[in-house]
Structure 1
Amino acid sequence: MEPRAHHLIIGLFTLVAFAAALIFSLWLSKSSADRDWAYYEIVFDHAVSGLSEGNPVLYSGVQVGDVLQMKLDPDNPAHVRVLVRVDQTIPIRENTRAGLVLANITGSMNIQFSGGSPGQPTLEGDRDNPPVIQAEPSAFNSILANSEQLLFKADELLTKANRLMSAHNIGNLTAILQNTREATDALLARRDELASLLDQFDAAGRRAEEAAIKVSRVSDNANELLQTDGRQVLESMDKALDVIYTTIARIDRLSRANEGAIDAGLQGMGELAPALRELRATLRNLNQFSQRIENDPSAILFGTDTMKELPQ
C-alpha cells in the first residue's frame, strides 16, 4: 500500500504542474493577444544576415516588439523588407532611425530603433498598410560587407610580398646590403678625413657668411649714399640742365631776332679776307725793314754802302 501511495502523490504532482504550465501559457498568449501593436515595415538596402523571424525589436536597448515577416523587394531583390510589430504605446516618429545590432557572439541580429524628437509627428498605420522606415547601415554590417574585399586585398598583398621575397630579389637585396656595409666601412676608415672636410666646409661657410655681411654693409652704404649725396647731385644736375635749357632757349631767340645781322656780319668777314692778306704782307715787309734797320741803320739812312778796309 505504501509504494502505491508514493506513486499516486508523484502522479498527482505531475498533473498539477502540467495544468499550471498550461494555464500560464494560456494566460501569456491571452495577454499577448490582448496587447495593442503598431506595425512598421523597415527597408534594408544591404544584407540582413543573422536576422530572422521572431527576433526581438529594441528601442534604445529595450525590447518593444519582434520581427514578424522578412521578404525581398520584388522590384529590387537587393533590398529586404522586414515587417515588425511594436508596442503601440511606444512612439515611433518620422525621424526615428532603425538599424541592426549584434545580439550575441553567434551572429544573431536584432532590429533597434533610436532617436526620434518629441516634436516630430508619429508614424501611424496598420498591418495591411504599415509605414515604411528606411534602415541605416550599421558599422558591423559595413565590416561584414567589406570583409571579403579586405581578405582579397590581404591575399593580394601576401602574393606580392612572396613575389618580392623571391630568391633573385633576396640575392639582389643581399648584394645591396653587402655594398652598403662596404661603403660604410670605407667611410668609417676615412672618418678623420671626413671630419677635416666637414671642418673646411664649416670654415668656408663662415667666410661666406662674413663676405655676405660685408656685401650687405656695402649695399647699405651705397643705398645711403644714393639716398643723400646722390640725390643732391641729381638735384644739382637737374638745376644745371634747367639753366642750360634756358640759355639755349635765349640763344635761339637771339639768333632768330638777329638772323639778318649775323648773315651780314658773315658776308663782311668774307670781304675782310683780302684785306687781311694784304695786311699780313705789309706786316711781313715792315718786319723785314725793321730787321734791316737793326742790322745796318746807316745804309738805310744815308743810302750809301759802308766802306770796307782793304787788306794790307
Structure 2
Amino acid sequence: MENRSHALMAGFFTIALMSMAIVLGIWLGRDKIQRVPYEIVTNMTVSGLNLQAAVRYKGIKVGNVTDISFDPKVPGQLVLRLEVIPDTPITKATFATLGYQGVTGIAFIQLDEDLQAGTGATLLTADASGQAQRISLRASSLQTLEQKGMAILKQTEDITRKLNIMLDPDNKQSVAAAINHIGQAAAAWQTVPSQLAPTLNKLPVLLDQTQSTLSSVQHLSSEANTLAANLTQLSQRVQAQDGPLVRFNMAIDQMTYSLTQETLPRIQNVTGEARSSLRSLNRATDQLSERPQSILFGNPAPLPGPGEAGFVAPR
C-alpha cells in the first residue's frame, strides 16, 4: 500500500507540473500586441508559403501570415491574410513579393516601397467598416527568372524545331547547294583583290590629277571672282552720276531737242519754199505749153478790165 501511495503522489505531482508548464507556456507565448490586418489577392503561385510565415518589411519581421484561402468570388484567385504591427509604415506604394530563406525553400512575405511613387505616398489606414486593406503582390526575382527561363526554353524549342526542319533529308540537298554556292562566292571574292590591284595602283596618279584639277579650279574660281569684281566696278562707274552712260543720255536728249526745235522747223520751211517754187515752175511750164511763142515774143498784155481804156463788155 505504501508503494502505491508513493506512486499515486508521484503521478499527481507529474500531472500538476505538466499542467503548470502548459499554462506558463501559454501565458508566456501570449501576444499582447494589437496587430493590423491586411490582405493580398493574387493569381500567382505561392509555393513554399505556409501559415505563420514571416512578414518582413525591408528585411525586418513585422508580422505573420494568418490565413491562406481561395477567393470565393473569383475562381483560381488566392487571398492571403496578414497581421502586421501598427508601427509598420505601409502606404499605397507598398507592394509584396515572395522571398525564400536560404536553401530550405521556406517562403515569407517581403514588403517594400515602390521608388517611382516617391516618399510622399499616403499611409494605408484601417477602414471604418473593419475591412482589411489590400496590398498588391508582384512577381519575385525567382518567379521573374522562372518566367524568362520558360520564354528562353520556348525560343530554344522554336530554334530546335527550325533546325530540324532545315536538317530534314529533303532539305539537305538545298543546304548543301547553298553552302556550295557560298564557297564559290568566297572563291570568286578571293580573285577580286587581284583584279582591283591595277585600279588601286592607278589611284595615286588619279589623286595627283584630281589635286591638280582642284588647284586649276581654285585658280579659275579666283580669276572669276576678280573678273566679277571688275565687272561690278565697271558697272558702278558706267552707272555713276557723271559716268559715260549719263553723259550719253544727255547728248541724246540734246540731239533730240536740237532736231525737234531747230532742224525740223528749218526742213519744214525749206519744204514750203520748194513747194512754192515747184508751183511757180508748174505754172510757167503750163504757160509755155499753151503759148510757146511767148519765149520769143513774151507774154501778151492783159485784157483791160472794167473802167479801163479799151474794155469791151462781153456779149
> With structure 2 as the length reference, what TM-score do the two structures score?
0.63
Identity of aligned residues (%): 18
Q: Does 1:172 align with 2:181?
A: no
- Equivalent residue of 2:132, what SS? coil
In structure 1, distance between residues paired with 2:31 and 2:231: 109
Give the equivalent residue in structure 2 for 1:232. Answer: 233
CA distance 1:81–1:110, change in 2 (3 Å): same
Give the equivalent residue in structure 2 for 1:47. Answer: 44
In structure 1, distance between residues paired with 2:72 and 2:245: 100
Of Structure 1 and Structure 2, the greater helix share is in 1
Q: Does 1:85 align with 2:101?
A: no
Q: In the alignment, is the contact (CA less than 8 A) between 1:38 and 1:124 conserved in 2?
A: no
In structure 1, distance between residues paired with 2:270 and 2:177: 103
> Is 82-91 or 24-33 further displaced after alignment?
24-33
Give the equivalent residue in structure 1 for 2:67. Answer: 69
In structure 2, distance between residues paired with 1:199 and 1:25: 105
- Equivalent residue of 1:34, what SS? coil
- Which of 267, 273, 278 is the equivalent residue of 2:271? 267
Task: Return the structure number with greater relative CO, CA threshold 8 A, min gap 6.
Answer: 1
Read off the aligned partner of 2:61 and give its amino acid letter: Q
Structural mapping, 1:102-181, within 5 Å: 102-104=100-102, 108-115=106-113, 122-125=123-126, 128-165=130-167, 166-181=171-186
Q: CA deviation at 1:252?
A: 4.1
Read off the aligned partner of 1:232 and give its amino acid letter: Q
Q: In the alignment, is the contact (CA less than 8 A) between 1:101 and 1:138 conserved in 2?
A: yes
Q: In the alignment, is the contact (CA less than 8 A) between 1:53 and 1:68 conserved in 2?
A: no
In structure 2, distance between residues paired with 1:213 and 1:78: 84
> With structure 1 as the length reference, what TM-score do the two structures score?
0.63
- Equivalent residue of 1:241, what SS? helix
Q: CA deviation at 1:87?
A: 2.5
Give the equivalent residue in structure 1 for 2:251. Answer: 247
In structure 1, distance between residues paired with 2:154 and 2:31: 50
CA distance 1:102–1:251, change in 2 (3 Å): farther
**Cα deviation 1:213-249 (Å, max 9, x = unaligned):** 221221122113322x222222233233333333334
Structural mapping, 1:195-234, within 5 Å: 195-227=197-229, 229-234=230-235
In structure 2, distance between residues paired with 1:43 and 1:266: 128
Read off the aligned partner of 2:162 and give its amino acid letter: K
CA distance 1:120–1:260, change in 2 (3 Å): closer
**Cα deviation 1:110-168 (Å, max 9, x = unaligned):** 21112498876643338952122233444443333444343322222222233345413
Read off the aligned partner of 1:200 and give its amino acid letter: K
Give the equivalent residue in structure 1 for 2:29. Answer: 31
Q: CA RMSD in A?
A: 4.2
In structure 2, distance between residues paired with 1:209 and 1:65: 84
CA distance 1:151–1:264, change in 2 (3 Å): same
CA distance 1:24–1:195, change in 2 (3 Å): farther
Give the equivalent residue in structure 2 for 1:279. Answer: none
In structure 2, distance between residues paired with 1:262 and 1:78: 127
Read off the aligned partner of 2:271 and give its amino acid letter: Q
In structure 1, distance between residues paired with 2:202 and 2:119: 79
Q: In the alignment, is the contact (CA less than 8 A) between 2:56 and 2:110 conserved in 1?
A: yes
**Cα deviation 1:243-291 (Å, max 9, x = unaligned):** 33333344444445458516516736977xx9xxxxxxxxxxxxxxxxx
Q: CA deviation at 1:184?
A: 4.7
Q: In the alignment, is the contact (CA less than 8 A) between 2:92 and 2:123 conserved in 1?
A: yes
